[in-house]
Amino acid sequence: MFQIVFTPMRKLSFRFLLFLIVGMFACHSIVAAEEQEGPLYQVKDGDTLYSIAQQFGGDVQLLQRLNGIENPSLISIGQILLLSDYSGVSGLVDTYAVQPGESFFSMPLKLDNDSNTLIKLNRIVNPHTLYIGQQLIYKLTDHLEEYNPVGFSVVGERDTLLDLAINADCSPYELMILNDWSNANLILTGDSIYSPVSQTMSSIPSPFEDIVISNEHPSQGHPVVISIDTDHETSVTGLFGDTNLNFSSIGGRQVSAFGVHAMSDPGIYQLLLTAKRNDGQIVTLEMRLRVADAQYGSQNLMLASDKAKLLEDENVRATEDQIISDTVSMFTENKLWEDGFGHPISMNYITTRFGMRRTYNGRDYLTFHGGVDFGASEGTPIYAPAAGVVVMSKTLDIRGTTTIIDHGVGVYTGYWHQQESKVSVGQELAYGELIGYVGNTGLSTGPHLHWEVWVNGIQVNPLEWIDQEIN
């Protein structure tokens, strides 16, 4: 039967290159670029000179000078550009985003580049620090006329043109053009053919089949959702840094939501996923995520003497923090809401954003603002932003009148400083149901709603969570 063997660096005739890749304008660009020293890049749909400079670590002005471009807005698809600052490198280059399950040691085979070339092009100091979504520069070919984005295959005994097209994931017409066929009836068993190829080789080991990460470049305080397909009856567990990940079955996939702590140091963090089959086989997949600095601001709050007393006894804060932590760390496997999250109050005037570094009355210690503050007058109604179950409704010293809702799969929302709570523990809430009213209770400098979102025991930016989907 028909079998495809991918060889991304096979040579086609220059005639096919002209048809498939560049066109007449690009051909003139090739000739001009080949006269200069350095790596080359072929402009794609959506590219700008600025985005190319960002990809390859140059600057727009230098690219203009190197390529004789007067107007940086006028570049063409297929145009060949000379890149700078890559001593001793020539040929056509491109970029590739690292996928889940891939490491530096799988890249040479995947990209058909040797390790030294990848190290030189990407200035890699430590190969163990590659992270998901990282853009790797790699060489397509040393000589432009040898480049073509195709695979190689052999015609099976009963293969028709339609069979070949289906196996190659393209149209019959595309195959005929690529192989210079004028008559499909003359295709013979054992003939070598070319077919389009994309970089879809998976580096994910069985029983993992597919891994989708909602936020491959999370910042401090941002949520991340991992969705996994497996090929057998398999349970999945995970670890991000020091945080254990809990998984739920949603829509036939294994899904875990977690947060990146707002005080995490920016850098590379290990992500471990472990799949355990019913037959006892265990497969562990090691990956990395890069956490970016969210660049939160800072503020010093001045409290009245009666409020400041709450800060003097560290046991008060520690005890209350532990009560909250114990509550939001419980894991309900089922997802209790249907659609996305809304806002808890109709007035969306934000007085303080998530993540602000805080001190009180000039004290030395530093904390962060764990939620979003909505400025509103006392008595403003507060509504459930999504369906869930009330797990706390009480008055605390620091947080004032407090409500916490469990939404399932490790997601909790909290409502601090209320004038009054209108719900009770165990009550099931639908989207838009009344929770309570805005107040000024606890450690508060004025009437407002402090709204928090916890994901897998970690506070995340509620405004980021509103845009997050779990399907």
CATH number at residue 18: 3.10.350.10
33/59 same-domain check? yes
Residue 26 pLDDT? 40
Residue type, 109: L
Same-domain pairing of 279 and 317: no
Q: Among 261, 291, 321, which residue terminates a domain?
A: 291
* CA dist., res. 213 & res. 255, Å (int): 10
Q: Is the domain of 354 the same as that of 283?
A: no
Do residues 382 and 274 both lie within one domain?
no
- For residue 364, what pLDDT is reported? 60
Please check whether residue 401 lies inside any domain of the structure: yes
Task: Tell me: do 271 and 316 sit in the same domain.
Answer: no
Residue 363 within any structural domain of the chain = yes
pLDDT confidence of residue 106: 83
| pTM of the entire predicted model | 0.71
Q: Specify the pairing of strand 458-460 against strand 428-429.
A: unpaired
Number of domains within the chain? 3
Whole-number pLDDT of residue 34: 43
pLDDT given for residue 115 in this prediction: 87
Is the domain of 356 the same as that of 403?
A: yes
Asked if residue 317 and residue 458 are part of one domain, the reply reads yes
Q: Do 330 and 452 lie in a common domain? A: yes
Element (H, E) at 216: none
- The residue range of the domain holding 51 is 3-91+141-146
Rounding to the nearest 10 degrees, give the CA dihedral for residues 275, 278, 282, 283: -40
Query: How do residues 127-171 score in pLDDT, each as one tens digit?
Result: 888 999 999 999 887 655 544 444 556 677 778 888 887 777 777
Domain end (from 244, 269, 291): 291
Beta strands 192-196 and 150-154, pairing class: antiparallel
Q: How far apart are CA 110 and CA 102, in angstroms?
A: 9
Tell me if 371 is assigned to some domain.
Answer: yes
Whether residue 275 is found in the same domain as residue 302? no
Low-confidence ranges of the chain (pLDDT < 50): 1-35, 146-150, 198-201
Asked whether residue 328 falls in the same domain as residue 461, the answer is: yes
96 belongs to a structural domain: no
Both 252 and 308 in one domain: the answer is no
Instruction: Select from 268, 291, 314 the last residue of a domain.
Output: 291
Examine residue 26 and state whether it is found in any structural domain, yes or no: yes
CB 263 within 8 A of CB 220: yes
Residue 259 shares a structural domain with residue 407:
no
Per-residue pLDDT at 11: 36
